[in-house]
Every structure is written in C-alpha cells, then in structure tokens.
Amino acid sequence: MPADGLFGPGTVSWRVHADPSMLLGGLRALLLQALHPRAMAGVAQHSSFQEDPWGRLYRTAFFIGAVTYGTGDEVREAVGRVRRVHEHVRGTDPATGRPYRADDPDLLVWVHSCEVGSFLDVVRRAGLHLTPAEADAYLREQTAVARLVGVPPDVPVPDSRAALDRYFTAVRPELMVTPAAREAVRFAFLPPLHGRAALATPAWAGLVGLSLALLPGWARRMYGLPGWWVTDLAAGLEARALRTAALRLPRTWREGPHLVAARERHGLAEASRG
C-alpha cells in the first residue's frame, strides 16, 4: 500500500469519483445490487438502511472517498472496517433458500461490478468526457479495491467494459426481484425526512426515479418498467442537465473532505480554486 494511497491525481478514478453525478451513480448501483437475491437478503437482514438510511449512504460515500483519495493508512482503515462487518453478515435467503455470506467472492464481485459499472455509466452519460481507453482504465484501476475488500486473486474481476458486459450477461439468470428488493425500492422513494427536510421529498423521489431510468434496459424490465431506448435517451439528457447545474455550485458544496485533503496533500488546492 503506497503511503499516499491507492490512486493519484493522474488516475481516472480521481476524475470519475469527483464528478457531481456520482450521487445518481450510487443510487443506480443500489437499485441494481438489489436484484441479486442473496445480496439483497444480506442487506435486508443485517443492514440498518431502513432505520438509518442517511447513515448508510454516508458510510458508503465515506468508504469511496477514503479508498479513492485517502492516504495508505486511511485506505487500510476503511477497508478493514468493511471486512470486519462482512465477517458477521451471513444467513439464508428466504426467496431461494440458499445460504449467503457477505465475504462470498461471488457476492463481492457482484457488489463491486454494480458500483463501478454504475459510476462509469452515469458519469459518462451525464457529460464527463472519457475515451474508451480511459473508461477501461477506470475499471482496471478499481480492481484493486475489489481485491482489498476480499476478492481472491484467482476470482476474475471485470477490468474492462467488454469484461463487465460479459459478467452481467453471465450473472443475469441468478437475478430476480424479491419481496425484499421491492420493499427496498419503495423505501428508497420515501425515506424518512423530518422537519423542513420533508420539503425535499419530491426532489429526492425524482432523483430515485431518474436513477431507475438510468438502469440498463434489462434491469428496468425486471422491475416492471419500460426498457425502451427512448427512456435511455431521456434519462441521459436529464442526468446531463442535473450535472450542468451542479457544476455551477461552489466546489465546497460538492467536494468531499477526502478529495479536499488529497488536493492539499498533492499541492493542488490553489489550482482547484483557480
């Protein structure tokens, strides 16, 4: 583990994970992950997402920020925390009757692929320019994170767009919309918002709806939604409009603490303000 962490300013991961459309990518990843019955069972039976949904989102964002922009020590701490949690997440999926455990390499690859695939797809459709070679480089860089959280060296991790497409084609027969998945989607639209924050409920539901529309057509059809190409077009245009608006906000509103600290550590703070 390099002292400065896994990635540096010249990596594609820095560019992708700093993009304001990452929120949409994260929501899309969660909706896609819910289609795997054993992965969804682990979340439903062991996660506090219904009691503390904002805490869950914060912890996920914190992990991504730490492993992308953190120092070597920060990466080790974040990864260690995740692996310790995984040790205790195990049970039986009620939909299939199959046992699961969070440190199962197959489930780790599924969660990883949903995340990086969603981040990459959404930021590109929202307007971040990446060449095909850069898109593949991003997936290749991110395989390091999959290995750190527990995917063994002999288990393949998609490291290119072509490999990612092959992976999702191969895993689709295992996927289904379980009652737990439907409840998770319903909850995503209407999480607990109190006080003045409740005024943001329609806007939040709109973000979740857009994230559903950004899913691949086959995933939308599993949820009983249209898989038409026109949906893809409209969702991409809306994501692009949201990203354009977000980029007009001050950097301090859209950059996380790990990115800010990394800019200062690499002497890029002044350049970022310019």
Residue 116 has pLDDT above 80, yes or no: yes
6 occurs within a structural domain: no
The amino acid at residue 187 is: F
229 occurs within a structural domain: yes
pLDDT at 201: 85
Q: Give bridge partners of residue 91 from the DSSP assignment.
A: 100
Which pLDDT band, with edges at 50, 70 and 90, does 273 fall under?
very low
223 occurs within a structural domain: yes
Enclosing domain of residue 132: 12-177+192-273
In order, the DSSP letters of 198-226 are GGGHHHHHHHHHHHHHTS-HHHHHHTT--
In order, the DSSP letters of 247-273 are TTS-HHHH--HHHHHHHHHTT-HHHHH
User: Tokens 């919309």 correspond to what residue?
Assistant: 177
87 occurs within a structural domain: yes
Domain count, the chain: 1
208 occurs within a structural domain: yes
10-67 confidence digits (pLDDT tens): 999 999 999 999 999 999 999 999 999 999 999 999 876 777 777 888 899 999 999 9
User: Tokens 């949690």 correspond to what residue?
Assistant: 85
201-233 confidence digits (pLDDT tens): 889 999 999 999 999 999 999 999 988 889 999
4 occurs within a structural domain: no
Residue 270 has pLDDT above 60, yes or no: no
In order, the DSSP letters of 94-141 are TTT--EEETT-HHHHHHHHHHHHHHHHHHHHHHT----HHHHHHHHHH
157 occurs within a structural domain: yes
88-114 confidence digits (pLDDT tens): 999 999 999 999 999 999 999 999 999
pTM strictly above 0.75:
yes
| CA dist., res. 84 & res. 200, Å (int) | 35
Within a 10 A sphere around the Cβ of 40, how many other Cβ atoms?
26
63 occurs within a structural domain: yes
Per the rule left: phi > 0, alpha: psi between -120 and 50, beta: everything else, 90 is beta
The beta-strand segments (E) located in the chain are 90-92, 99-101
